[in-house]
Amino acid sequence: MTGPHPPSQEDGGVPVPPPDDGRPANAFGQPLPGAPLPGRAPLRLSPKVLLIHPVRMLPSLLLPLVGVLFVGGFSGRSYGWAALGVVATVAYAAIRWATFTYEIIGDRLETKRSLISRSVRTIPLERIRGVDVSMPPMHRLLRLAVLKIDTGASGGDEEAELDGVTLEEAERLKAVLLHRTARAEAHVPDLAAAAGPEERTIVSVPRKWLLYGPLSGAYLLTPFALAGGAVGLVFQWGDDLGFGQDTALSVGEWLWTHPYLLLAAALLLVVAMPFVGGLMYAVFNWDFRLKHRDGYLVAERGLINRRSVSLESGRVRGYEIVDGLAERWAGVVRAWAIVTGLGDSQTRGQLLPDVPRAVAVEVTADAIGPYRSALRAHPPVARNRRLFRAVFPWLVLAVAAAVLAWVTGHVVWWFLLVPALLLAVLGVPLGLDRYASLGHGYDGVRLAVRSGSLRRSQAVVERRAVVGWRLRQTWFQRRAGVVTLIAGVGAGKGGYSAIDVSETQGATFPAEVTPDWLRPFIQPETPPPTG
């Protein structure tokens, strides 16, 4: 399991850093009285976090402070209380800082917190699956970073977080933590990385592609969230800010009597959707870079909060290429990595923001591996099933509304009937497109399954990542002679489905991908599948 380490790496972990210049944390980084082992130095976070934590606690302090000022008036007494609050916050932050240490001892990382109760968390280095370095705005100003250490455990509690280390320390820790795991894991040698330089940029997404952002549908609801938040804030803090809830309510009533203003506001919000959404998208995906570094895939992005996520190549089992309706029209796609034991994979696993399809195919092939085969169509009966499912529920609703409209004579039912009919009609192209999306295939190394229309997704997974097969057949599927074939994969979502394959495909496809597993169970009279 563990390969031979060079001696400098073997004895006691980290070399003790020089105790001054630019890293004041190390001035305090002497061994604690309780742990007088030579060569060991528990480290503290950078003391600069003392500037961040109190500021971050301010909002929760603000309300009581404002309350004190209002109740007590602007007297010396209330200023005293306010000052006390601020001092207490700073003191709390300082104590938290002083009582938290971390240390790399041999082959594990230990974090200790001894505020009231003592807690020691030990993370074996070989368990570390990725390191996520991010720089929120204030950290960025002070040249600090937040280091999140992903251990692949399911709960968020199992992750270690070092909030506030200097950039140099973050780089050093990242190198030490990741280097150890890369060494300890007997993962498949990465020829591209071994031959080339240590760090290689796979893709750097040009700025003009950020314009595709609104097509992704991400952050589109931001204007509404902002407006809702503002209204909520007014109601919550209206009293404190000098105007009561009554004022807010009467404003609401006044608006209610002027519906055109409301309508205009709603329209404005809707018009703002692509712009604000696109802006948010650009802020989060600014200067997206995907790199190969020392057996890791590193994705960096973000304008204000610059994020860098490292995924161990040896744990990447495949990728998912996703495009929505609007994105397909523009010919752009997004991509995610399928990784074993990755928490929060929706944000961490992202390989590419919206880029042209050809680029995404090239990049995923370069970073993870190509899929070189066509997808096979599913039987025509699957098309009928897609159509039925897209049209029938709306048709039932429309008929019910029509009957009710006819019986009761109320106009209200027409408001149900017309949209239901419209949706039923729209169901026809939707169902056809859903059928066109269905497909599965195998190119000898990786298998691929694709489905979905409004959000079409194609998963490409390595053959060796498949841990089992599952065929599911509902009563309706049995009558149609189709099954849903699910490839069990110990990564990502856990299973990737080929929906409505024929019963023959349902048996021959697994037999093609993993012939050894299926051979005993295929009936002798059917000819063996040909690759």
Site residues (vs another protein, CB under 8 A): 340, 464-475, 478, 481, 486-491, 494-495, 503-504, 506-508, 510, 514, 516-523, 526
* Nearest-approach distance from CB 109 to another protein, in angstroms: 23
Residue of 517, 355, 382 whose CA lies nearest to 440: 382
* Nearest-approach distance from CB 471 to another protein, in angstroms: 4
Taking the least distance from each CB to another protein, the nearer of 395 and 522 is: 522
* Nearest-approach distance from CB 449 to another protein, in angstroms: 12
* Nearest-approach distance from CB 491 to another protein, in angstroms: 7
Alpha-carbon dihedral 12, 17, 19, 24, rounded to 10 degrees: -110
3-state secondary structure labels for all residues of 3-61: CCCCHHHHCCCCCCCCCCCCCHHHHCCCCCCCCCCCCCCCECCCCCHHHHHHHHHHHHH
Q: With contact defined as beta carbons under 8 Å apart, do 162 and 145 qualify?
A: no
Taking the least distance from each CB to another protein, the nearer of 169 and 462 is: 462
Taking the least distance from each CB to another protein, the nearer of 245 and 474 is: 474
Distance CA 182, CA 200 (A): 17
* Nearest-approach distance from CB 318 to another protein, in angstroms: 13
Burial 193-204, CB ≥16 within 10 A → b, else e: beeeeeeeebbe
* Nearest-approach distance from CB 452 to another protein, in angstroms: 18
* Nearest-approach distance from CB 430 to another protein, in angstroms: 25
Taking the least distance from each CB to another protein, the nearer of 42 and 510 is: 510
Taking the least distance from each CB to another protein, the nearer of 118 and 464 is: 464
Report in angstroms the alpha-carbon separations of 82 from 5, 71, 85.
Answer: 55, 12, 5
Taking the least distance from each CB to another protein, the nearer of 19 and 341 is: 341
Burial 148-185, CB ≥16 within 10 A → b, else e: bbbbbeeeeeebbebbbbbbebbeebbebbbbbbbbbb
Taking the least distance from each CB to another protein, the nearer of 46 and 505 is: 505
* Nearest-approach distance from CB 443 to another protein, in angstroms: 18
Taking the least distance from each CB to another protein, the nearer of 218 and 465 is: 465
* Nearest-approach distance from CB 490 to another protein, in angstroms: 3
Distance CA 285, CA 59 (A): 28
Taking the least distance from each CB to another protein, the nearer of 110 and 150 is: 150
Taking the least distance from each CB to another protein, the nearer of 277 and 506 is: 506
* Nearest-approach distance from CB 472 to another protein, in angstroms: 5
3-state secondary structure labels for all residues of 220-280: CCHHHHHHHHHHHHHHHHCCCCCCCHHHHHHHHHHHHHCHHHHHHHHHHHHHHHHHHHHHH
Distance CA 102, CA 134 (A): 19
Long-range Cβ contact pairs of 174-178 (< 8 A, separation 24 or more):
174/131, 174/133, 174/147, 174/310, 176/13, 176/14, 176/104, 177/104, 177/109, 177/125, 177/128, 177/131, 177/149, 178/128, 178/131, 178/294, 178/295, 178/296, 178/310, 178/312
Provide the CA 131 distance to its chain's centre, in angstroms.
14
Taking the least distance from each CB to another protein, the nearer of 96 and 463 is: 463
3-state secondary structure labels for all residues of 419-443: HHHHHHHHHHHHHHHHHHHCEEEEC
* Nearest-approach distance from CB 461 to another protein, in angstroms: 11
- Which residues touch 416 (CB under 8 Å, ≥6 apart)? 397, 401, 404
* Nearest-approach distance from CB 284 to another protein, in angstroms: 30
Taking the least distance from each CB to another protein, the nearer of 429 and 494 is: 494
Taking the least distance from each CB to another protein, the nearer of 162 and 465 is: 465
Residue of 266, 276, 263 whose CA lies nearest to 223: 276
- Which residues touch 435 (CB under 8 Å, ≥6 apart)? 378, 382, 383, 386, 387
* Nearest-approach distance from CB 492 to another protein, in angstroms: 9
